[in-house]
Each structure stands twice: as structure tokens, then as C-alpha cells.
Amino acid sequence: MGVLDYLFSNFCTSPSTKTKYKAMQTVEIKVKMDCDGCERRVRNAVATMKGVKSVEINRKQSKVTVIGDVDPNKVLKRVKSTGKKRVEFWPYIPQHVVSYPHAPGVYDKRAPAGYVKDVQTFPASSETEEKLMSYFSEDNVNGCSIM
């Protein structure tokens, strides 16, 4: 009977009945919580979602971390449904990860200590470097194309 059950379950069922599993992921959300009631409301709203494994709340940093098989947009929508006005994905990353932490737009005084805003910063373009390097020749080190 084991072989027949295997064949029937794998080859005779329609592909629509198979469920797709979401990958385990971590969702971090920034939401302002002032009291224990706010924290409890957010925790209960998120913890009752299907696929949530754990919920961690850091009120001092205004950070909610959800771990589980969940869609980040659905978690954000669920937290917004608690009545919180300013809810967004966690916009900060640790300062030691950023290559240029003092670039314009990275520093945010509302960020927790040791964190900076997650902004893509790129070093100065190499195009100007290439232009400057093309003025000089390696064949004739004393020669310059400017003269």
C-alpha cells in the first residue's frame, strides 16, 4: 500500500493543491510606541498572523522585529491597522556597515545610537580619474599630453 499511496499523492493530484512555502525571513518595522498598551496592541496584531514564529519589540528604538514565513507588506499593513500613524520599514543600518557614514543624507539625528540611514552612497566616479590618468603616458613618463 505504501507504493500506491506514494504514486497517487505525487502523480495523480493536481498541481494547484500543492502549497507553496514562503522562505523564513526577518521583517523590521519602525513604529512609535509610547506605552505598554501600544506595545501590546502591536504585538497582538502581528503575533496572530499566520506564519509568524517570533515577535520582538524594542520600544526605546521604536523597532518591531518579526521572524517567520510572512510577507513584509502584510506585516506593515497589519501594524498600520492598529491605528499608528507613522509606520515604515526599518530605515537604519549599523554605522560600521556603511563605507561612507558621513556622506550627505546618511546621518539622521532621529536614528538610534550607532545607526545611520540606509542610503546608497557611492564614491566619486572613476570617470574623472580615468580622464586625469589618460593625460599621462606610461611609455614616456616625462611627457604629458597637456603640453
Cell representation of residue 32: 512609535
pLDDT at site 127: 65
Cell representation of residue 110: 532621529
DSSP notation for 47-114: HTSTTEEEEEEETTTTEEEEEES--HHHHHHHHHTTT-S-EEE--EEEGGG-S-TTSTTT--TTSPTT
pLDDT at site 86: 87
pLDDT at site 7: 61
pLDDT at site 46: 94
- Report field, pTM of the whole predicted structure over 0.85: no
* pLDDT tens, the chain, 147 aa long: 566 666 666 666 555 555 555 678 899 999 998 899 999 999 999 999 999 999 999 998 889 999 999 999 999 999 999 988 889 888 888 888 877 767 777 777 778 888 888 776 555 555 666 666 666 666 666 665 555
For the four alpha carbons of 103, 106, 111 and 112, in that order, the dihedral sign comes to negative
pLDDT at site 94: 83
